[in-house]
Amino acid sequence: MHTATLVLARSNVLVVLAIVAAAGCVNELNPHTREADADHNVAFVAQDDTLNSQLTTDAEGYRVTPVIDRRGEPFNRIGVRYDVAGTVVAEGRARHDDSWSDWSELTSTYVDDSVHNGLLDVEADSDGAQLRFKLDDGASLRFLVTETFVFAPAAADVDLEVDAEAASEDLQGLAADGLVVTRSQWGARSRSCGPTHQPNRLTIHHTDTPNNDSISMPARVRQIQNYHINTRGWCDVGYHFLIGQDARVYQGRVENVLGAHAAGANTDNVGISFIGTFDDAAPSSAMLDAAARIMKSMSRTYGIALNRDRVQGHRQVGTTDTSCPGDALYNGLSDLISRAQGSTGGGTDSTTTACSLVQVDTDTLNIRPDANTSRAPIGSLTLGQTATRLASVTGQTVNGTSRWYRVQRGSVVGYISGAYASCAN
């Protein structure tokens, strides 16, 4: 996978062009192979005055973007997210063999008040793109982000709106435990994705969306999920966690499921994305603290070391040439890690590892063959006894947590609820 970057303007927002030769599964338990290399990158992003200063007005009264020159980086789909106050008609066109297509209206895939997603399928091997917007009197274009990429349809793409029963609303993630806004709380579409993986590192992103957002964070996360599913063709929102400007953490994909956020490096990699654009402006301290809390939880659950080897910016991993997560956020990663190392921020231990032993915190705790209390016990542990931790898994919610431990005590191997056990080393 390769991207080329062209800086069109830089004020408060970096405007770049990028081609992403990747897409993903839709509603498949074993996703189409294209999702293993799925990634996030932008073709053009700008907002407010920076955006409007780059638009020109054509003879028909449309506001027109600069030409997005993609010579040598062909595509067949243009994906667009935009915010507009008022009524708008959005159109696009593509260049192929030095000839421009006619303007065509974008296919709208999502509208929620002022928030829009759309796409335009164009001739294969196109190498230039342009957008234009017809705004009613009083309407204003506030934000625009565009991607050009190669989209390879899969059989399941015709079934975008079918939600698998296996993706129940209580499947909220292994590290949730009250730290996140659950999928059901932010109004996620229910999805069933795969395959699973074993998290062993964290990658930090930003979403290329407005700073000082004018819409609610749940609404913005719903827009991102829709775009990833209906325009990029992925199974679900590509990130595992999103850090809201309200200093809350939003659960994306369950973190033990393969994500779509770092091409060539998605396996065993948990994607954490800050909602906004952080090229020049850094996230708030409250956003950083929220991210630190979920990073600490991930470290405890999966044994991910909180250091610069295991916590990296998107630009450091995978095969995509990208500026993500923006210079301001990237330059603050060491501070973010320090916050995560401490229980309330700060701390100096950069070699955090998962415990190898768990200790029982109640009088008697049954060992069961599966992570569910309905299964008959195959053994038990008493207060203060320890067992070897083989893995942390998700299971039936007990006393507010879905975390279970797969343990071994002597010859007995089974599961104990994390509600009544904790790390002993």
Least confident of 28-42, 133-147, 200-214: 28-42
Q: How many CA atoms lie within 13 A of 406 on its CB side?
A: 9
Q: Is the pLDDT of residue 281 over 90?
A: yes
pLDDT of residue 402: 78
The strand pair at 63-64 and 128-135 is best described as antiparallel
Q: Which CATH superfamily is domain 357-423 in?
A: SH3 Domains (2.30.30.40)
pLDDT tens readout for residues 40-77 = 667 888 999 999 999 999 999 999 999 998 888 899 99
pLDDT of residue 227: 95
Q: Is the pLDDT of residue 210 over 50?
A: yes
pLDDT tens readout for residues 120-156 = 999 999 999 999 999 998 888 999 999 998 998 764 4
Whether pTM > 0.75 for this model: the answer is: no
Topology of domain 19-157 in CATH is Jelly Rolls (2.60.120)
Query: For the chain, which residues make up each domain, given as ranges?
Result: 19-157, 180-341, 357-423
Instruction: Identify the CATH class of 180-341.
Output: alpha beta
Can you spell out the DSSP letters for 81-143? Answer: EEEEES-EEEEEEEEETTEEPPPEEPEEEEEETTEEEEEEEEEEEE-EEEEEEEE-TT-EEEE
pLDDT tens readout for residues 357-395 = 888 877 889 999 988 888 899 999 998 899 998 888 888
pLDDT of residue 138: 84
Q: What is the pLDDT confidence band of residue 86, given thresholds at 50, 70 and 90? A: confident
